[in-house]
Structures are given as structure tokens and as C-alpha cells.
Amino acid sequence: NKQVILKDYVSGFPKESDMYVSRNGTMKLKVPEGSNGIVVKNLYLSCDPYMRSRMIKNKAITGNYYIDSFKPGSPILGLGVAKVLDSGNPNFKKGDLVWGRTGWEEYSLITDFQNMFKIQHTEVPMSYYTGILGMPGLTAYAGFYELCSPKKGENVFISTASGAVGQLVGQFAKLLGCYVVGSAGSKEKVNLLKNKFHFNEAFNYKEELDLDAALKRYFPEGIDIYFENVGGKMLDAVLLNMRAHGRIAACGMISQHNLDKPEGVHNLMHLIYKRIRIEGFFVFDYNHLYPKFLELVLPQIAEGKIVYVEDIAEGLESGPAALIRLFSGLNIGKQVVFITQE
Ligand code: NDP
């Protein structure tokens, strides 16, 4: 059983060499006697920014949830798409396709079914269940529709807009008839935002010396909704440009993940001046919306109204490099690791 192992806890920017691929793990492909677990063959693994917070010693805290740190010397854990090989659980049978929590390895024994979903729709690429039809998709849906109370014609700004979550938020907003602008970290990503996802405007934040001025250029009348993925300087600049009664969905702050000390945010008084509602959220609090989300998004994918860009690395060996691409912005679209077809 080939596995991606975390060498040791990580500080600062994660490196490929913080992980290694081991070929030594052995595993019986049968569920142990009396267990209600399932044995799966992992097909696709999802690279997600929150995994960085599991590489530190102390448990990462997410709201009321504690997400365990990875254990040095053990395989890292994440979300993935897998096929059931053996089951001791009445809800799953051999041959079922599932997505949810699994290990970064060829085969896993899964005993925690908290975030495990059976895949019912197989007419789409299976990798989509790591992205648009998986956790990032539900994040975009819950964050935009539940937290932002969006209305037609409103001005929407999305940071990290070409990523797994951002590209979908932007397309939801466009379909609703909003004016949508996204920021991203390269020319190629900006082109994608404008030409593939049909955002009204997009800009490369790395080329803007003054983010406040950039936002004023694209939003002369201000921002109604900010879908926050980066934090730091961008959040500070956005606060200056929000309109009265604006809403901010605090989804993630990836610019802060690798800093020893988080950057300060200076413009919080604007929350008061403009009566802004800012709300953080955690996607798995919205699992109950997953069927409703699929009902909305599957037909839109089938009709080509929503498109999705993935960045697929081949093979478990490419896992460590693929994961750290998220933090240098090398991924173009949803970063996935492909292990095997079935
Ligand atoms: P992406 O696919 O967008 O990949 C990460 C991207 O972040 C990179 O490509 C890069 O894009 C950008 N980035 C990396 N480092 C920095 C930095 N220092 N400063 C600014 N941008 C940086 O990731 P996801 O779509 O999966 O996640 C987007 C956000 O959503 C993350 O903050 C994540 O933590 C959060 N999230 C929150 C969830 C929740 O439940 N609240 C659930 C899922 C995700 P670029 O080139 O544009 O800079």
C-alpha cells in the first residue's frame, strides 16, 4: 500500500520534502471481523488549503470542531473519491463509489463516516467529486447563497477567484445577474476568469501596488458582496470599498496560512460605518444542503451553463508536489491527484 507520509511538523512555507512516498505499508483488502468499516481503493485525492493547518503540532481548531493534526510518520489524510472493495457497513456495498475522508494512500480502511457521501451520479468525471461536486462546490454554494443573501444586480468581488471554490462562486453570481469581479495571481488565471468563467472583470493582485485603488477602479460604486478567500491586505482594502449593508462571507484566509504571525487588519471600523455583516463558516455545517446543491448544479453542468477547470497531477508520487502548489499559486483551477481509474 503506497502512502504519502508526513515527515515532521511544518513551520513556514510547506515543502515537497516535508512529505515522502512510502511503498512499505501492507494492508489486507478485507474489513476486519466485526468492524463496520469499509475498505476502499482511492481513485482521486483532493488538495485543499486547510490541510496545511493539520501539519502543525497543535490541533487545528475550526469552530466547534477539532481537526486532528497529521501524525509525523503516518499517511496524511484528506478528502478523495474511492471505490468500495469490501464493506462491513450496511450503507455501503462492494463496488459503490464514494467521496469523503480518506487517506493519502492506495487503499484505506474507513471507519468514520461523518463526511462520507455515496456517489449517485456517474455521468460526470469522477474527479468532480473532489471539486465542483464535492467539498469546494458545497463551500461555494453555502457561502454564496446562505451567507451572502445575494440579489440580482449586486456587485460581487471574489478573491482567489480561479481556484476550486472561487470559480464556482463567480459563476453562481453571474447566473444570478450580478456584476462580478475576481482577483487572481497570474495573467493566465485572469484570462480564465474573463474568458472561460465570464466574470465581468478580473485583475492580477500581484501587479497592483495599491489594492484600494484597484478595487475603486472596478467598483466605483462599491462592493455589495465580498467572498473572502485570502485575508490580509486584500481584506483591508475591501473593507474600504464595501457599500452600506454589504455582506462578507469569510471562507478562508490562505495568505495567512504560512505566516508565523498573522497580519493585522486595520480597517475594521468600516464594518460599523457601513453596517457590514461578516460571517465565517465551515462547509461541513451545511451537509444537509448537499442534495439541494446537487439538484441545482448537475443540470447546469450538463447544459454547459457552469464549467469547471481542474489541475490534475498524475500518481500518488506527485501528491506532495501537488499539495504545495496551492501555496505558491501554481495550481490553475482545482488541484487534484489522480491515482487510478478504478
Ligand atoms: P484554490 O484552488 O484557490 O488554491 C489556492 C490558491 O490560493 C492558489 O492557487 C493561489 O491563487 C492562492 N494563494 C496561495 N497563497 C496565497 C497567498 N499567500 N496570498 C494570496 N493568495 C494565495 O483553493 P480553494 O478554492 O480550495 O480554497 C480557497 C479558500 O477557501 C481557501 O482560503 C480555503 O482555506 C477556503 N476554504 C474554506 C472552506 C470552509 O469551510 N470555510 C472550505 C474549503 C475551502 P492565486 O494565484 O490567485 O494567488
Q: Quick check: 59 pLDDT over 80?
A: no
Residues 71 and 183 reside in one and the same domain: no
Question: For residue 217, what are the contacts with CB-CB under 8 A and spacing of at least 6?
Answer: none
**What's the confidence (pLDDT) of residue 61?**
60
Residue 284 CA: which ligand 1 atom is closest?
40
**What's the confidence (pLDDT) of residue 62?**
56
Atom 33 (ligand 1): residue with closest C-alpha? 252
Residues 109 and 227 reside in one and the same domain: no
Residues 239 and 158 reside in one and the same domain: yes
**What's the confidence (pLDDT) of residue 261?**
86
Any domain includes 300: no
* Mean pLDDT confidence for 49-55: 92
Mean pLDDT over the full length of the chain: 95
CATH number for position 207: 3.40.50.720
**What's the confidence (pLDDT) of residue 63?**
53
Residues 142 and 278 reside in one and the same domain: yes
Q: Quick check: 40 pLDDT over 70?
A: yes
60 vs 284, residue with greater confidence: 284
CA dist 331 to 18, 33, 130, 186, 321, Å? Answer: 19, 42, 15, 11, 11
**What's the confidence (pLDDT) of residue 58?**
72
Domain of residue 94: give its range.
3-131+308-338
Q: How many residues are listed for the chain in this entry?
A: 342
Residue 257 CA: which ligand 1 atom is closest?
18
Residue 265 in grid coordinates: 487588519
CA of 23 to the centre of ligand 1 (A): 31
At 147, give phi and psi (nearest 5°): -95, -30
> Residues near ligand 1 with C-beta < 6 Å?
48-50, 136, 139, 160, 163-166, 184-186, 189, 229-230, 251-255, 281-283, 326-327, 329, 331, 334
Atom 11 (ligand 1): residue with closest C-alpha? 329
Any domain includes 229: yes
